[in-house]
Amino acid sequence: MYNLLKGKRGIIFGALDENSIAWKTAERVHEEGGVFVLTNAPAAMRLGNISDLALKTGAQVIPADATSVTDLEKLIEQAMDILGGKIDFVLHSIGMSVNVRKGNHYTNQNYDFTQKGWNVSAVSFHKVLQVLYKKDAMNEWGSIVALSYMAAQRVFPDYNDMADNKAFLESVARSFGYFFGRDKKVRVNTISQSPTATKAGQGVKGFNGFIAFADKMAPLGNASALDCANYTVSMFSDLTKMVTLQNLLHDGGFSNVGVSQEVMEMFE
Ligand SMILES: NC(=O)c1ccc[n+]([C@@H]2O[C@H](COP(=O)([O-])OP(=O)(O)OC[C@H]3O[C@@H](n4cnc5c(N)ncnc54)[C@H](O)[C@@H]3O)[C@@H](O)[C@H]2O)c1
């Protein structure tokens, strides 16, 4: 390990179980010397095993619903108290679509569900940024990352309303990232990750086909959760100081391939 995050303090949202991208990120950040608080929705505390991760990484867990500004305000205040100063890195690793969960087709949405999923998956990122900004809680040259997926740019029929949520999320990263960069010298980016076998990922209809196809298309194959954690560590480090307002494709090259030879062979 390289001590890339030595002396840095952070907040990691969204570690539910050992498959979560946020879980792997917390483990890697810990190995690189960063300290952090872990947070998740109060309901997730009962579902997952975040306390195991907390024990392993010496982190405290603060429950917070990322759609609640009040919860976020308390979380950020407490995080600064516990960690002993302002924040250097934040991972937003949150996604949920009620339409996906209930099996509603994209052409037959329940708009209460649409709004709930949008609030959790996308607006929550604006809320996190706004609370951090207003509280002046970030150190200069800090780094904020949210996780996205390529359905924000291209059609993946079963990704459903999460495609729209991701497009919104990426736009928030750019729009808020402008003000965070100009006013506070903080960078804001999204990482657009390969399909990954996690609770949220596997909730998407046809996920097994989806992940296998991407793996055959990408010259490097799919990026794993651990690969994503490593990339995120680099984005939290001082080595990527001048990268901001970007949607960073972390997909083994998938996004720039028209068709791969392996996929072609299936049709010949
Ligand atoms: N798995 C994939 O294929 C894939 C690909 C690209 C991007 N992503 C994105 O990565 C991120 C992490 O997902 P994951 O795949 O690790 O799955 P995951 O299910 O492990 O993580 C999703 C997390 O969101 C949390 N969450 C839901 N509602 C919340 C709320 N109201 N407040 C706070 N937290 C809440 C859940 O408790 C959970 O910990 C998501 O943004 C997801 O869309 C996933």
| The pLDDT value given to residue 17 | 95
Distance CA 229, CA 39 (A): 17
For residues 218-231, give the mean pLDDT: 98
* Domain assignment of residue 207, yes or no: yes
Residue 132 Cβ < 6 Å to ligand 1: no
For residues 104-110, give the mean pLDDT: 98
Q: Are 189 and 177 in contact (CB under 8 A)?
A: yes
* Domain assignment of residue 3, yes or no: no
Helix, coil or strand: residue 109: coil
Structural domain range at position 91 = 9-265
Write out the two tokens for 182: 């100009």
Q: How confident is the model at residue 47 (pLDDT cuts 50, 70, 90)?
A: confident
Write out the two tokens for 143: 């780094």
Residue 59 Cβ < 6 Å to ligand 1: no
Q: Are 241 and 208 in contact (CB under 8 A)?
A: no
* pTM over cut 0.95: yes
Top mutation candidate among 16, 148, 194, 211 for ligand 1, by most atoms within 8 Å of CB: 16
The count of structural domains within the chain is 1
Query: For residue 263, how far is its CA from the centre of ligand 1 (angstroms)?
Result: 29
- Residue 46: is its pLDDT beyond 90? no
Question: What's the CATH number where 34 sits?
Answer: 3.40.50.720
Query: For residue 166, how far is its CA from the centre of ligand 1 (angstroms)?
Result: 12
* Domain assignment of residue 4, yes or no: no
Look up residue 44 and give its amino acid.
A
Query: For residue 161, how far is its CA from the centre of ligand 1 (angstroms)?
Result: 15
